[in-house]
Amino acid sequence: MYTICYFSKVAPDLTDEEIQEIFDHTYHQNNEKGVCGILLHTMGNFFQVLEGDEAYLTDLYENRIKTDPRHHSIFEVIHKAGSDPVFTTYNSRFQTIDNSDQLNEVKQYLQKHAIRSSTSDKLARLLKSFIIFDY
Ligand SMILES: Cc1cc2nc3c(=O)[nH]c(=O)nc-3n(C[C@H](O)[C@H](O)[C@H](O)COP(=O)(O)O)c2cc1C
């Protein structure tokens, strides 16, 4: 199992429809390929957690996601081999968190990987921008 987690900034000219296309594509593609995790969008940022096969994930992330012009300024939080995955299904169909189960999974994931907002100022700011993180 491999895991990657990052924040990024949404490209300035992206419309709501274009954001929805990213969500739809990601949801279908990742479910088909057995990738777990979450994609959130709020206040001009994306936050994504990916869990799955190392070869598939690193190729997806390095060659497609990182070079995708629909976002920029990627800030990587985690990029490493992991043990048991935290996410069991891929939920990219929502843009704001309104479900405490999903929220708990994100929290569990960050706790499991010992990610604290105190790790860096930048991370603290990013986590705060996703108001859900009362770290
Ligand atoms: C923020 C963001 C997250 C994305 N996450 C995924 C993802 O998890 N899985 C995926 O297949 N594509 C994802 N994409 C889309 C890819 O960057 C890329 O457009 C897509 O994989 C291209 O697929 P194709 O080569 O089959 O056309 C994401 C794009 C953005 C902007």
Q: What is the pLDDT of residues 5-19, one digit of tens each?
A: 999 999 999 998 999
Question: From start to end of 13-116, where are the E strands?
Answer: 36-42, 45-52, 71-81, 90-91
Residue 40's pLDDT band (boundaries 50, 70, 90)? confident
Residues with CB under 6 A from ligand 1: 8, 22, 25-26, 29-30, 39, 46, 48, 50, 60, 64-65, 68, 70-71
Residue 2's pLDDT band (boundaries 50, 70, 90)? very high
The pLDDT of residue 106 = 78
User: What's the rounded mean pLDDT across residues 34-44?
Assistant: 85
- Which CATH number among 3.40.50.1820, 3.40.140.10, 3.30.70.100, 3.30.200.20 corresponds to the domain 2-96? 3.30.70.100
User: Which atom of ligand 1 lies at the shortest distance from residue 65's CA?
Assistant: 17
The pLDDT of residue 28 = 87
Of all protein residues, whose CA lies closest to atom 6 belonging to ligand 1? 26
Q: Which residue has the tokens 């979450």?
A: 38
pLDDT higher than 70, residue 128: no
Q: What percentage of the chain's residues is helix, strand, coil (to nearest 5)?
A: 40, 25, 30
The burial class, CB within 10 Å (0-12 / 13-18 / 19+), for 67 is exposed
